[in-house]
């Protein structure tokens, strides 16, 4: 009986008309997550994405720090996202940083097997709900090999690129775009995009300073969101028309001091 009721509920969801207000849902980790003002200047790119979109677009950011595809599913976070979704929503799926954590077996998902299988599950369940799934390769870390930033999650990004072909799923290659951004800024200049601060900066969130080459500063989150927005605009999906052509709030030279757009 429960299975029958679930099937009926799913059919009713698919039969429901798409909302007049377009939405983007985000399934991801700490690089995209929301942070409170007490954590400033740490921001996730998912917080800033709204600044590159038309005012009627709602961003529902369900990214959670420390999650891989494995734990996002096992903890019920993926099921919760699907349950709150509406037909016509776009869902951005970005994982890899924590899937690669071999030392954390509860998170670890080998790229060619469990990670791949989890992504396929997400793609098909999203489509079954009437959503538009979009894969997003993991953003680059501030990790250099000579003068160029290097891809620390290449195997995971490659799986996503292969799934583009085998499942006909749109892709935002954030890894490639962010590697170029970090490389152009250089080893020293790219610090502005990540959490690199000293005690002299007198930050309440990091009074002892911090040197974090994974998580984003305000400028880094804005730049990553700009890359995501730019990539969305180039995709052949309905939400693409909602990306602003000019996105000055995402290309600031100086921090605003908050997660506000302007």
Residue among 123, 124, 130, 132 at smallest CA distance from 242: 132
pLDDT for res 252: 96
The parent domain of residue 77 ranges over: 22-248
pLDDT tens for the 262 residues of the chain, in order: 434 434 434 444 444 444 468 999 999 999 999 999 999 999 999 999 999 999 999 999 999 999 999 999 999 999 999 999 999 999 999 999 999 999 999 999 999 999 999 999 999 999 999 999 999 999 999 999 999 999 999 999 999 999 999 999 999 999 999 999 999 999 999 999 999 999 999 999 999 999 999 999 999 999 999 999 999 999 999 999 999 999 999 999 999 999 999 9
In a domain, 146, yes or no: yes
Number of domains in the chain: 1
Asked if the structure places residue 86 within a domain, the reply is yes
* pTM for this prediction: 0.92
Measured CA to CA, the distance from residue 117 to residue 242 in angstroms comes to 31
218 touches 256 (CB < 8 A): yes
Q: CATH number, domain at 149?
A: 3.40.50.1110
Neighbours of 111 (CB within 10 A): 18
Burial of 34 (0-12, 13-18, 19+ CB in 10 A): middle
In a domain, residue 14? The reply is no
Residue with tokens 């995971």: 156
Residue 260 within a domain:
no
pLDDT of residue 120: 99
Residue 10 counted as domain residue: no
The tokens for 51 are 């600044």
In a domain, 4, yes or no: no
Question: Has residue 171 been placed in a domain?
Answer: yes
Residue 209 lies in a domain: yes
């Amino acid at each position: 009986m429960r299975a029958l009721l679930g099937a009926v509920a799913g059919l009713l969801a698919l039969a429901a008309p798409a909302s007049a207000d377009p939405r983007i849902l985000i399934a991801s980790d700490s690089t995209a997550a929301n942070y409170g003002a007490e954590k400033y200047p740490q921001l996730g790119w998912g917080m800033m994405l709204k600044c590159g979109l038309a005012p009627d677009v709602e961003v529902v950011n369900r990214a959670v720090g420390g999650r891989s595809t494995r734990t996002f599913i096992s903890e019920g976070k993926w099921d919760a996202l699907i349950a709150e979704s509406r037909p016509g929503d776009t869902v951005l799926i970005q994982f890899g940083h924590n899937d690669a954590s071999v030392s954390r077996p509860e998170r670890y998902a080998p790229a060619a097997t469990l990670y791949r299988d989890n992504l396929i599950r997400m793609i098909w369940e999203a489509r079954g709900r009437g959503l538009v799934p979009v894969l997003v390769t993991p953003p680059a870390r501030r990790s250099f090999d000579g003068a160029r930033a290097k891809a620390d999650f290449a195997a995971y990004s490659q799986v996503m690129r292969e799934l583009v072909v085998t499942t006909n799923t749109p892709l935002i290659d954030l890894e490639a775009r962010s590697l170029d951004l970090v490389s152009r800024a250089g080893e020293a200049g790219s610090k502005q995009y990540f959490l690199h601060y000293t005690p002299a900066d007198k930050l309440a969130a990091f009074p002892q300073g911090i040197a974090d080459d994974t998580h984003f500063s305000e400028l880094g989150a804005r730049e990553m969101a700009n890359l995501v927005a730019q990539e969305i605009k180039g995709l052949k999906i309905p939400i693409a028309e909602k990306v602003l052509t000019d996105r000055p709030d995402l290309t600031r030279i100086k921090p605003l001091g908050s997660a506000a757009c302007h």
